Amino acid sequence: MSDTSVIEISEEAVTGNIEFLRNHFGSAIVLSSVVKANAYGHGVKSFVPLAEKAGISHFSVFSACEARELIKVRSPESSMMIMGWMNDDDLGWAIENGLEFFVFEPARLKKVVSIAEKCGKPALIHIEMETGMNRTGMHMKELKEAAGIITSHPDCFVLKGLCTHLAGAESVANHVRIQKQLTRYTRLCKIFNGRGLVPEYRHVSSSAAAITYPAARFNMVRIGILQYGYWPSAETLMYYLSKKKVMDDPLKRVIRWKSRVMALKNVKRGEFISYGTVYLAQEDKKIAIVPVGYSHGYSRSLSNQGRVLIKGERIAVIGMVNMNMLIADVTKIPSVKTGDEVVLIGDQGNIAISVASFSEFSNQLNYELLTRLPRGIPRTVVN
Ligand SMILES: *Cc1c(COP(=O)(O)O)cnc(C)c1O
């Protein structure tokens, strides 16, 4: 291994997670697999074929440039949906290739009309509605205008979806806001239904809402984090476990990120370790240097907080996480040698490190750390 670290993608975990999700949601609901941000750091190239083998045939990304990557690795039978950024210049390409995309401005529909007429193919659109998140999405007035444009150009559009995004279904603290959004969503859908515009899909839920608001599943859910084996929040997992009256997390982490011990050193009591005065050795210490730092995606917020696995033991990261290195406290494992495996995420022996288990950080860190894993780290698929 000349790379400083390697990411393993477990086929068994992908298959198991997707099977669980499909059973949980039922076959009437289409599961759109969200693979934005390089499949949450797992690598689109590695992840997408595994998801397809497990039965996924609809994928979502954020931008047209992510779609250009996805189109090279998905099977032609799989649908693709762009949920966010597209240039006007991307529209022709998207329409030609039969990609679905969100529309959140009436002006975009007018552009689409001229392009769709030119290439003689309808655009597959999802109308995004503003229901209270206050991000992208059209208000009532814009939706009426949009419905008008669609009705007067029936050959230019296929209304694939009416959708919105919920603002924080992973916490019960947002319950009132979510309920309001759902009510507003239903009301706004009527603008289209009233004009005879019936979408193929209605979708509002990402992982958290799909678990905790069954009524919000409609006939499509957009699932990101769950398929990679993580819960959007501890609350969502607790909700699932208590509803189902089960004890065990049904998901398996797909990623295993590993490196090696690069050097070992003894440090005397009373010395500071690494930059500055962040960590003071209060006893004689043995430390292991690991060639992974924040430039490799190991967040600096894990300074003095993170945990890694060495020789089947949970080991503290001490001092600042550096650009290319971190330091682990191996005082309690005298047998450790240079070259020994270091697990940054995933399991070793009987224990595992999830990103969130680093500390009492919010699970938000799962999303952030995973999606920041650099493309340069090699991904390999393992059973
Ligand atoms: C990222 C994203 C999702 C998936 O979110 P998870 O919490 O990872 O399931 C769904 N919908 C939209 C619009 C998104 O941007």
Please report, as a single letter, which amino acid is at residue 362: S
Q: Would you say residue 368 has pLDDT above 90?
A: no
| Mean pLDDT value across residues 363-371 | 81
Q: State the pLDDT at residue 301.
A: 87
Contact predicate 32/81, CB 8 Å: yes
Strand partners, 126: 102, 161
* Ligand 1 centre distance from Cα of residue 66 (Å): 15
- Write the secondary structure of 306-341 as one string of H (helix), E (strand) and C (coil): CEEEECCEEEEECCCCCCCCEEEECCCCCCCCCCCE
Q: Would you say residue 5 has pLDDT above 90?
A: yes
Contact predicate 321/303, CB 8 Å: yes
The highest-level CATH class for domain 11-244 is: alpha beta
In this structure, whether the domain defined by 255-353 belongs to CATH 3.30.70.260 is answered with no
Question: Which residue of 81, 203, 222, 366 sits with most ligand 1 atoms within 8 Å of its CB, as the best mutation to test the pocket?
Answer: 222
* Ligand 1 centre distance from Cα of residue 30 (Å): 15
The mean predicted confidence, pLDDT, of the chain is 95
Q: State the pLDDT at residue 163.
A: 98
Query: Which of 106, 73, 107, 102 lies closest to 85, judged by CA?
Result: 102
Q: Inter-axis angle of helices 106-119 and 140-152, to 10 degrees?
A: 20
Question: Which residue of 21, 206, 223 sits with most ligand 1 atoms within 8 Å of its CB, as the best mutation to test the pocket?
Answer: 206
* Ligand 1 centre distance from Cα of residue 62 (Å): 9
| Mean pLDDT value across residues 205-216 | 97
Q: State the pLDDT at residue 9.
A: 98
* Ligand 1 centre distance from Cα of residue 202 (Å): 15
Contact predicate 104/86, CB 8 Å: no
Q: Would you say residue 266 has pLDDT above 90?
A: yes
Q: State the pLDDT at residue 359.
A: 44
Q: State the pLDDT at residue 200.
A: 98
Q: Would you say residue 8 has pLDDT above 80?
A: yes
Read off the pLDDT of residues 31-90 as tens digits, 9 standing for 90 and up: 999 999 999 999 999 999 999 999 999 999 999 999 999 999 999 999 999 999 999 999
Which range has the worst mean pLDDT, 9-18, 165-174, 306-315, 357-366? 357-366
Q: State the pLDDT at residue 362.
A: 55
Helix (H) or strand (E) holding 145, with range, is helix 140-152
Read off the pLDDT of residues 193-206 as tens digits, 9 standing for 90 and up: 999 999 999 999 99
Q: Write out the two tokens for 121.
A: 């193919």
What is the Cα 160 distance to its own chain's centre?
23
Distances (CA, A) of 355 to 139, 307, 311: 38, 9, 19
Alpha helices (H) in 169-311, listed in sequence order: 175-193, 207-212, 234-244
Residues of the chain with CATH 2.40.37.10: 255-353
Measured from the Cα of 223, ligand 1's closest atom is 9
Residues of the chain with CATH 3.20.20.10: 11-244
The pocket around ligand 1, CB under 6 angstroms, is made up of: 34, 36, 83, 165, 206-208, 222-225, 232
Measured from the Cα of 102, ligand 1's closest atom is 13
Q: Write out the two tokens for 362.
A: 């919010």
pTM (2 d.p.):
0.94
